[in-house]
Amino acid sequence: MKRLTIKDIAAKSGVSISTVSRVLNRKEEGMSQETREKVLQVIEELNYQPNLFARGLITKQSKLLGLVVPNIQNPFFPELCRGAEDEANRHQYSLIICNSDDNAAKEESYLRLLNEKQVDGILLSSGDNLSVLTEKQLEYGNTPFVLMDRGGNSGKYNSIFVDNEKGGYLAGRHLIELGHRKVACIIGSKNLRNSNERLAGFRRAMMEVGMELPDDHIINGEFHIEPAYKQSKEFLENKNVTAIFTCNDLMACGVYQAASELGMKIPDDLSIIGFDDIPLVSALIPKLTTIRQDIYNMGRRAAKMLIDHIEKGENDIVIFEPSIIVRGSTKAI
């Protein structure tokens, strides 16, 4: 079946191509009601679907947005992606998904590709800090963008973040209020900003009550299950703590495994509090107490910010408030 073109519609309606184009683009001022209806009827009769390439050349809009995330397989990002897609769809935009693997060269290459595809805007969850490559491409590309969750919160760009420091503080307060005085923190990695901010907030809660977090109670779990499992198992075999804060939920899963193998009961022998509130945690027994980021709504809000920027030139920086969700993995001692 040959694809119908605007020419076919024009011929069948007995009007000019430019008249059909005006109807398709809703620029019908001065056109008779009769003409307009005739064209619309033919469009319906022939079940015509407009060629968005041609329309894109006229409107300079692709109605496409790019979404660049490190990896959709990390359970944080499907939530963010779904929020962004729902909001984009509500405004007639479609979302192109790209997985950068936290690789600056791959990220930059995707940004260049999205630019070539003439996307109207880009949602970017970058590496921890924007790489020079990425920043250069963003500025050169001249395509509107919003940074999400990562990529530096320097205040320079439209962006959306959770207040990581406050989240860490909430985790610390919770453990202190439950009476815990011997605690440890499993961090993402020494130079990850998100992780460092969560640790700083956790420490602030300790300091408020004159507690210290010894350096050897800060464990690098690399934000993943396996390293968190190994490191926390070794730690728990040698040190005596009553509670652990993990800077994300995945690492809490690793601590559950370590505790189970060491015969420690959660929360009787060990309290655990996580960060993120990804759906994964509903599989844990007992269910995980955690610091919640409203990931889905961060995705929606980021898409809305981007569209407002594209359509109205608005700029914004939004900080989401974290909250604590108390479930079964923490207990007063």
Residue 5 touches a copy of itself, criterion: CB under 8 A: no
Q: CA 281 → CA 14, 33, 52, 327, distances in Å? A: 63, 59, 43, 10
Site string for a copy of itself, 18-57 (x = CB under 8 A): -----------------------------x-xxxxxx-xx
Tokens 């602030």 correspond to what residue? 204
- Site for a copy of itself, residues 289 to 328, rule: CB under 8 A: none
Residue 118 touches a copy of itself, criterion: CB under 8 A: yes
Cα separation, 319 vs 321, in Å, equals 7
Among 13, 19, 21, 62, binds a copy of itself (CB under 8 A): 62
Q: How many CB atoms lie within 10 A of CB 240?
A: 6
Are 104 and 134 contacting, i.e. CB atoms less than 8 angstroms apart?
yes
Nearest approach, Cβ of 49 to a copy of itself (angstroms)?
5
Residue 227 touches a copy of itself, criterion: CB under 8 A: no
Task: Report how far apart the first and last C-alpha atoms of the chain are (Å, whole number).
Answer: 73
Among 7, 14, 140, 216, binds a copy of itself (CB under 8 A): 140
**What angle do helix axes 33-45 and 6-13 make, rounded to 10 degrees?**
120
Q: How many CB atoms lie within 10 A of CB 75?
A: 16
Residue 165 touches a copy of itself, criterion: CB under 8 A: no
CA atoms within a 13 Å half-sphere pointing along the CA-CB vector of 144: 22
Are 222 and 191 contacting, i.e. CB atoms less than 8 angstroms apart?
no
Residue 222 touches a copy of itself, criterion: CB under 8 A: no
Nearest approach, Cβ of 39 to a copy of itself (angstroms)?
17
Among 23, 138, 187, 253, binds a copy of itself (CB under 8 A): 253
Q: Which residues pair with 275 in a beta bridge?
A: 291
Per DSSP, 249 falls in state H
Between 28 and 86, name the residue whose CB sits nearer to a copy of itself: 86
Pairing assessment for the beta strands 121-124 and 145-148 based on DSSP bridges = parallel
Tokens 């921890």 correspond to what residue? 128
Are 54 and 20 contacting, i.e. CB atoms less than 8 angstroms apart?
no
Among 70, 79, 122, 272, binds a copy of itself (CB under 8 A): 79
Among 90, 190, 279, 314, binds a copy of itself (CB under 8 A): 279
Among 15, 81, 298, 310, binds a copy of itself (CB under 8 A): 81
Residue 112 touches a copy of itself, criterion: CB under 8 A: yes
Between 97 and 318, name the residue whose CB sits nearer to a copy of itself: 97
- Positions touching a copy of itself (CB under 8 A) are 1, 3, 47, 49-54, 56-57, 62-64, 67, 71-73, 75, 77-79, 81-82, 85-86, 89, 94-99, 112-118, 140-142, 225, 253, 256-257, 260, 279-280, 282-285
